[in-house]
Homo-oligomer: A and B are copies of this chain.
Amino acid sequence: MTSLQTPIFKQITVIGPGLIGSSILRRIQKDHTIAEYTIAVDIDPQVCNRVKELKIANEVSSDPIQAIQNADCVILAIPVGAMQEVAKKIIPHMKKRAILTDTGSTKASVIAAITPFLTNDISFIPAHPMAGTEFSGPDAGFESLFENRWCLITPTSVTDRKSIHKIEQFWQTMGANTRILSIKHHDKICAIVSHLPHLLAFTICNTADNLADETRSEVLDYAASGFRDFTRIAASDPIMWKDIFLNNREAILEMLARFMEDAQAMAKAIRWQDENYIVKTIKKGRKIRKSLINNKQA
């Protein structure tokens, strides 16, 4: 399918064709109003071969410098801990007036990592599509991943309006709803709605694993629906999440501390049989859940 409409970008290079990156590539392939030409870059030759087999990019390369030279838009879809190294390597070779954007789950740390290497010629638009599954790699992506999900954009003090608009347009064409947010606010919100739940999920799996061998095997046998939900997100990529925890450290530690206070209060209420407190707490949880359903996020 070709379109008469001028695409948003002539060439997009996606660095890291994993769950997020390959979903972007798949969507572009179905919608020619986004980009005319795509290049996927990965340092792992196995990933490159798989992306070639999947035929989701016009070109696949293991050399980021060569792959970004003609790109109008470079998307960093890599773990947040790898942003600095890649940005340092590619920025000097980017086209003048090209846009650099990312899909990282933490924004203050990614901006701090990339900013020192930026030049006046490059527009850097930090972005975070709030979508994902517990699976990773190029096979995990799908073109509708961003449909009706939020993409949060956190401009820096030097980000130009025109480039922001282009990235908003890009994500809207991907199916996402976009919103501009302050960097700090983004990191706090994500700490509570995404990072803390993942931390709790990893932790409860460890608590179960730390039980005596006999009990542990039975944990697996009898895992009821509650535990299964928690362990779904615990299957997420270790390196990606290690990076997120270290890169949104302050906000995550703050939210975890608040959570621990609330959990201790609940423990105390259980120990002292404070029925009112327990019921009030459960009802509050229900209320939040119902708001989620009303907001059509559930």
Contacts and interface: CB of A to CB of B under 8 A. Distances in A.
A275 B227 CA distance: 26
Copies assembled: 2
Given A185-B218, A223-B298, A236-B282, 6 more contacts: A189-B222, A194-B227, A234-B289, A241-B278, A245-B270, A246-B275
Interface in A216-234: 218-234
B193 A284 contact: no
A137 interface: no
Contact of A199 (B219, B223, B228, B266): B266
A189 B282 contact: no
B193 A208 contact: yes
Most buried by B among A134, A223, A229, A273: A223
Give chain A's interface residue range (CB within 8 Å of chain B): 35 or more
Name A's interface SS. helix
Report the 4 A-B pairs with minimum CB-CB distance, sorted nearest first: A197-B226, A234-B285, A205-B285, A194-B224
A252 interface: yes
Nearest to A269: B245
Contact of A278 (B195, B221, B245): B245
B233 A226 contact: yes
B246 A205 contact: no
A160 interface: no
A242 B281 CA distance: 10
Interface stretch (A49-57, A61-69, A255-263): A255-263
A206 B284 contact: yes
A109 to B, nearest CB: 12
B226 A229 contact: no
B241 A282 contact: yes
Nearest to A195: B226
Nearest to A261: B207
A144 interface: no
Nearest to A246: B273
A297 B202 CA distance: 18
A84 to B, nearest CB: 15
13 contacts: A193-B219, A201-B285, A202-B284, A204-B259, A206-B281, A220-B295, A226-B233, A229-B233, A235-B285, A238-B283, A238-B286, A241-B278, A249-B273
A186 to B, nearest CB: 9
A255 to B, nearest CB: 7
Contacts of A26: none
A133 B189 CA distance: 28
